[in-house]
Amino acid sequence: MDVRPPVLVRRSSVLFGVCAVAATILGVAAIACWVRVGAVADAYHTLAWTDQEFRSLDQDADGLRFGLAFNMVVGPVTAVVTAVLTFALRRPWPWARMTAFWFAGLAVMLLIVGVASIAMDSSGGDSPIPDLASVADAHRDLGTYPLAEWYGYLSVQLDLLLIGALIAAATHLSGLSVTDFYRAESRQEDPRWTSFVQLRKERQERGI
């Protein structure tokens, strides 16, 4: 039986669609900066530094890549799962709702970690070289900063957008009308259930 999803389900579906787009942008940005870090770090190897300084440079670049790698993994995975949920939630499939709850909780925790550990082009306290951004300032001829200046702002904004959208989507799925929609009986040809669903649908249409 083809049943139109309740308003809250449709809103949740849209929010997961927004998450899919935002997560895709987050992953693409992290991948682009990953490539950039490698190119800039290679350019720094033309400087007249000691071996110890170059080792510290490589360690700093690896640390920067690690921070980017987090979003390179979380972004695409979140994009794929939320894209699937965007369409699956509109069907009366109980597994889709349960998956949405669990994934939203897990993704929010990971995104909070991502905000707290955002990639920074800085050096450790015991490093013999200044932070990577300072190296770029001192050697303008080497090109751009290791980390794109827009990355930090974009990453934080996308993370916060994703956290808010995921929480809102999960909240919408906890409504009573949503629970009824995902009941196992919603897929059975029971006249009483059909009448109940039709009555609820009419009430929703009058309320829109």
Mean per-residue pLDDT for 74-79? Answer: 96
Q: pLDDT of 117-152, one tens digit each?
A: 776 665 555 555 555 666 655 555 555 666 677 888
List, in order, residues 6 or more apart from 151 with CB less than 8 Å away: 29, 30, 33, 119
Q: Which long-range contacts (CB under 8 A, 24 or more apart) does 176-183 make?
A: 177/6, 177/7, 177/8, 177/204, 178/6, 178/8, 178/9, 178/12, 178/97, 180/6, 181/3, 181/5, 181/6, 181/9, 181/92, 182/92, 182/93, 182/94, 182/96, 182/97, 183/92, 183/94
pLDDT for residue 186: 47
* Intra-chain end-to-end CA distance of the chain, in Å: 23
Percent of the chain with pLDDT over 70: 72
Reference 55, options 65, 41, 43, 66; nearest CA is 41
The model carries a pTM of: 0.74
Show me where the domains of the chain are located: 7-207
Higher pLDDT, 196 or 105: 105
Once rounded to an integer, what is the mean pLDDT over residues 45-64? 73
| Higher per-residue confidence, 113 vs 130 | 113
Please return the burial class of 85, using the count of CB atoms within 10 Å of its CB with bins 0-12, 13-18 and 19+: buried
Q: Report the pLDDT value the prediction gives residue 99, as an integer from 0 to 100.
A: 95
CA distance 190 to 187: 9
Share the mean pLDDT of the chain: 80
Residue 4 is predicted with a pLDDT of 80
User: What's the pLDDT at 122?
Assistant: 58
